[in-house]
Amino acid sequence: MIGASRSVEPINAFLPYKWHDHANFSFHHLDLNKDLIEITRLIRDTRPAYVVNFAAQSMVGESWQNPGDWFMTNTVSTIKFHDELRQCDFLKRYVHVSTPEVYGSCSGFVKEDFPFNPSTPYAVSRAAADMSLRTFRATYNFPVVTTRAANVYGPGQQLYRIIPRTILFILLGRKLQLHGGGVSTRSFIHMRDVSDATWKIMRGGRDGDTYHISTNEVVSIRELVEQICTKLGVAFDDHVEVVGERMGKDSAYHLDSAKLRAELGWQDRIDLDRGLDECIAWVRTNFDELKAQPYDYLHKP
């Protein structure tokens, strides 16, 4: 198994594969924007049957500040990568990890054929690559399946994400800024459930199809933070500061995952209550290391 990222490997606390035997895994420091030739050479040399692409500029609010960087990574470089992959005759399947942000804000649980209505540079850049893949499938019979997951979380997540950030700030005695009062609603799904779903889609999904990965448990961001405060035995008002909403933030997107459940027999197994306990335990176990890490998103062009 081979993995590549434009970021160097961080501390082990952020790398779940290092928490277990990973002798069959090799890491390569390669940037999709700068090292496409090297990435393509690596793929042609190792001839994998499956390629799963998680790479993306993924911060939504920050995409307004440098939109060109988001389009370069998520659209231009990604489509160039697809053009190389379509020429690899050994490739059995390409798994394109997309995002529900392409749908924009929506009400109710939406299915995979819901129309695109992106509302941020990030979402538009992802939607463009998704639409390009439709043409690759139609023209080249490219063996692609697409996944869109709800809000993914779990031990090892970067500290600028809401769950680890909330836990760490409370343990540090710092105030958490809650954008817009936390009224937007989300469905949070544990990374192990997402990994299980991605594996099933990679092996058994239908080429050209999209699959939603989500739970049916919906909470507001405020409710999520309140739940963490309760678990840590602190008062919400003592640790949270309400600030203005982020530009273009979608109030809700909830995914209907019935297709994945019916076709591939997948089901989520880790509810939010248990998942939050795991995240709290992870932060406590690695507290000395984590508190020395950057808390905010650091942009890389």
Read off the DSSP letter of residue 8. P
Residue 285 predicted with pLDDT over 80: yes
Question: Residue 254: what pLDDT?
Answer: 87
Please report the DSSP string for 68-137 in residue order.
Answer: HHHHIIIIIIHHHHHHHHTT-TT--EEEEEE-GGGG-S-SSEE-TTPPP---SHHHHHHHHHHHHHHHHH
User: Among 36, 35, 18, which residue's Cα sits nearest to residue 27?
Assistant: 18
Candidates 3.90.105.10, 3.40.50.1970, 3.40.50.1100, 3.40.50.720; CATH matching 2-156+188-216+249-272: 3.40.50.720
User: What's the rounded mean pLDDT across residues 51-66?
Assistant: 94
Question: Residue 180: what pLDDT?
Answer: 82
Residue 256 predicted with pLDDT over 60: yes
Spell out the domain ranges in the chain.
2-156+188-216+249-272
Residue 103 predicted with pLDDT over 90: yes
Alpha carbon of residue 282 to chain centroid: 19
Q: pLDDT tier at 249 (50, 70, 90 boundaries)?
A: low
Cite the DSSP H helix spans in the chain. Answer: 36-46, 67-71, 78-85, 121-140, 162-172, 191-204, 221-232, 236-239, 258-264, 272-285, 287-290
CA distance 105 to 254: 9
